[in-house]
Amino acid sequence: MRTSTTTSAVLKNLMIARDGAMTAELVQRPGDFGLGRIPARLAPAGTVRTICGFCSTGCSLLAHVDHRGQAINLTPDPYHPVNQGMACPKGWEALTPLAAHDRALTPRLRDPHTDKLVPVEWSRALAELVARFRGLQQRHGANSLAVLSTGQIVTEEMALLGALTKFGLGITHLDSNTRQCMATSHVAYKQSFGFDAPPFSYADFEESDTLVFVGANPCIAHPIMWQRVMRNTRRPDIVVIDPRATETAMAATLHLPLRPKSDLILLYGLARALIERGAVKADFVAAHTTGFEAFSAFVSEFSPARVAAETGLATGQIDQLADLIARKERVSFWWTMGVNQSHESTRTAQAIINLALMTGNIGRPGTGANSITGQCNAMGSRLFGNATSLLGGYDFEDSSHRGHVASILQLEPDRIPAQKGWAYDEILDGIERGEIKGLWVIATNTAHSWINSGRFRDLRSKLEFLIVQDLYDTTETALMADLILPAAGWGEKEGVFINSERRLGLTRKVNRAPGQALSDFAIFKLVAEAWGCGGLFTQWKDPESTFQLLKELSRGQPCDFTGVRDYAHLEASRGVQWPFTESDGAVETEMSPRERRLFTDGRFFTADGRARFFFEPPRPMPEAPDETYPFVLMTGRGSSAQWHTGSRTNKSAVLRKLAPTSLYIEVNPDDVARLHLDPGGQVLVRSRRGEVQAFVVATSTVQVGQVFMPCTSTV
Ligand SMILES: Nc1nc2c(c(=O)[nH]1)N[C@H]1C(S)=C(S)[C@@H](COP(=O)(O)OP(=O)(O)OC[C@H]3O[C@@H](n4cnc5c(=O)[nH]c(N)nc54)[C@H](O)[C@@H]3O)O[C@H]1N2
Ligand SMILES: Nc1nc2c(c(=O)[nH]1)N[C@H]1C(S)=C(S)[C@@H](COP(=O)(O)OP(=O)(O)OC[C@H]3O[C@@H](n4cnc5c(=O)[nH]c(N)nc54)[C@H](O)[C@@H]3O)O[C@H]1N2
Ligand code: SF4
Ligand SMILES: [Mo]
Residue 588 pLDDT class (50, 70, 90 cuts): confident
Residue 136: per-residue pLDDT = 98
Q: Whose CA is nearest to atom 32 of ligand 2?
A: 489
Half-sphere exposure of 601 (CA within 13 A, CB side): 4
Cα(12)–Cα(25) distance, rounded to whole angstroms?
14
Which residue did the predictor score with more confidence, 8 or 152? Answer: 152
Cα(503)–Cα(501) distance, rounded to whole angstroms?
6
Reported as a single tens digit per residue, the pLDDT across 106-117 is: 999 999 999 999
Residues linked to residue 108 through DSSP beta bridges, in sequence order: 119, 484
CA of 375 to the centre of ligand 4 (A): 6
Residue 13 pLDDT class (50, 70, 90 cuts): very low
Q: Is residue 701 part of a domain?
A: yes
Cα(208)–Cα(229) distance, rounded to whole angstroms?
9
Residue 26: per-residue pLDDT = 44
What CATH number did the domain enclosing 272 receive? Answer: 3.40.228.10
Res 506 pLDDT > 60: yes
What is the number of the ligand 1 atom nearest to the C-alpha of 710?
23
Instruction: Give the pTM.
Output: 0.95
Note whether 151 and 227 are same-domain residues: no
Q: Give the Cα-Cα-Cα angle 551, 553, 556 (nearest 5 degrees).
A: 90
Region 612-638 average pLDDT: 96
Note whether 172 and 224 are same-domain residues: no
420 lines ligand 2 (CB under 6 A): no
- Say how many C-beta atoms besides its own lie within 10 A of residue 604's C-beta: 27
Residue 126: per-residue pLDDT = 98
90 lines ligand 3 (CB under 6 A): yes
Reported as a single tens digit per residue, the pLDDT across 69-88 is: 899 999 999 999 999 999 99
What CATH number did the domain enclosing 409 receive? Answer: 3.40.50.740
Residue 44 pLDDT class (50, 70, 90 cuts): confident
180 lines ligand 2 (CB under 6 A): yes
51 lines ligand 3 (CB under 6 A): no
**At 150, phi and psi to the nearest 5?**
-155, 170
Q: Whose CA is nearest to atom 18 of ligand 1?
A: 216
Note whether 280 and 224 are same-domain residues: yes
What is the number of the ligand 1 atom nearest to the C-alpha of 88?
1
507 lines ligand 3 (CB under 6 A): no
CA of 263 to the centre of ligand 3 (A): 28
Residue 432: per-residue pLDDT = 97
55 lines ligand 3 (CB under 6 A): yes
Is 659 in contact with 714 (CB distance < 8 Å)?
Answer: yes
Q: Is residue 344 part of a domain?
A: yes
Res 30 pLDDT > 50: no
445 lines ligand 2 (CB under 6 A): yes
74 lines ligand 3 (CB under 6 A): no
Q: Is residue 151 part of a domain?
A: yes
What residue ranges in 575-637 does DSSP mark as E strands? Answer: 576-577, 611-612, 632-636
Res 3 pLDDT > 60: no
Closest ligand (CA of 712)? 1
Q: Is residue 44 part of a domain?
A: no
Note whether 381 and 289 are same-domain residues: no
Residue 38 pLDDT class (50, 70, 90 cuts): low
Residue 47: per-residue pLDDT = 94
Q: Last residue of a domain, which of 371, 388, 413?
A: 371
Note whether 533 and 636 are same-domain residues: no
Reported as a single tens digit per residue, the pLDDT across 166-210 is: 999 999 999 999 999 999 999 999 999 999 999 999 999 999 999
Res 7 pLDDT > 90: no
pLDDT above 90 coverage of the chain, percent: 90
Note whether 254 and 350 are same-domain residues: yes
Note whether 525 and 476 are same-domain residues: yes
Cα(22)–Cα(518) distance, rounded to whole angstroms?
11
Note whether 425 and 523 are same-domain residues: yes
Cα-Cα-Cα-Cα dihedral sign, residues 554, 555, 559, 562: positive
Is 23 in contact with 17 (CB distance < 8 Å)?
Answer: yes
Range of the domain at 410: 108-177+377-580
Cα(508)–Cα(702) distance, rounded to whole angstroms?
42
pLDDT above 70 coverage of the chain, percent: 93
Is 166 in contact with 442 (CB distance < 8 Å)?
Answer: no
Residue 41 pLDDT class (50, 70, 90 cuts): low
Q: Whose CA is nearest to atom 2 of ligand 3?
A: 55
Region 246-253 average pLDDT: 98
91 lines ligand 3 (CB under 6 A): yes
Res 715 pLDDT > 90: no
What is the number of the ligand 3 atom nearest to the C-alpha of 222?
1
Region 298-326 average pLDDT: 98
Residue 277: per-residue pLDDT = 97
- Average pLDDT, whole number, for the chain? 93
Res 445 pLDDT > 60: yes
Note whether 148 and 216 are same-domain residues: no
Res 601 pLDDT > 80: yes
Q: Is residue 103 part of a domain?
A: no
User: Residues within 5 Å of ion ligand 4 by Cβ?
Assistant: 181, 374
Residue 10: per-residue pLDDT = 45
Q: Please give the tally of structural domains in the chain.
A: 3
644 lines ligand 2 (CB under 6 A): yes
Residue 69: per-residue pLDDT = 87
Q: Is residue 627 part of a domain?
A: no
Note whether 492 and 517 are same-domain residues: yes
Region 101-106 average pLDDT: 98
Reported as a single tens digit per residue, the pLDDT across 406-424 is: 999 999 999 999 999 999 9
As to burial, measured by CB atoms within 10 angstroms (0-12 exposed, 13-18 middle, 19+ buried), residue 116 is: exposed
Q: Which of 213, 242, 246, 714 to mutate to test the pocket of ligand 1 (most atoms within 8 A of CB)?
A: 242
As to burial, measured by CB atoms within 10 angstroms (0-12 exposed, 13-18 middle, 19+ buried), residue 681 is: exposed
Is 172 in contact with 417 (CB distance < 8 Å)?
Answer: yes
* HEC per residue, 178-200: HHHCCHHHHHHHHHHHCCCCCCC
Res 550 pLDDT > 50: yes
What CATH number did the domain enclosing 646 receive? Answer: 2.40.40.20
Strand pairing category for 503-507 and 495-498: antiparallel
Residue 596: per-residue pLDDT = 87
Residue 42 pLDDT class (50, 70, 90 cuts): low
Instruction: DSSP for 292-354, please give it.
Output: HHHHHHHHTT--HHHHHHHH---HHHHHHHHHHHHH-S-EEEEE-HHHHSSTTHHHHHHHHHH
Helix (H) or strand (E) holding 62: strand 60-65
Q: Is residue 53 part of a domain?
A: no
If you count DSSP H runs as helices and E runs as strands, how many of each does the chain have, helices first?
Answer: 27, 25
As to burial, measured by CB atoms within 10 angstroms (0-12 exposed, 13-18 middle, 19+ buried), residue 235 is: exposed
Cα-Cα-Cα-Cα dihedral sign, residues 399, 405, 408, 412: negative
Q: Last residue of a domain, which of 580, 601, 618?
A: 580
Give the contacts of 670 (CB within 8 A, at least 6 positions apart): 704
Q: Last residue of a domain, which of 340, 371, 402?
A: 371
Res 241 pLDDT > 90: yes
Note whether 383 and 366 are same-domain residues: no
Cα-Cα-Cα-Cα dihedral sign, residues 232, 233, 234, 236: positive
Residue 712: per-residue pLDDT = 78
Q: Is residue 92 part of a domain?
A: no
Cα(178)–Cα(56) distance, rounded to whole angstroms?
12
Note whether 287 and 344 are same-domain residues: yes
87 lines ligand 3 (CB under 6 A): yes
Residue 453: per-residue pLDDT = 84
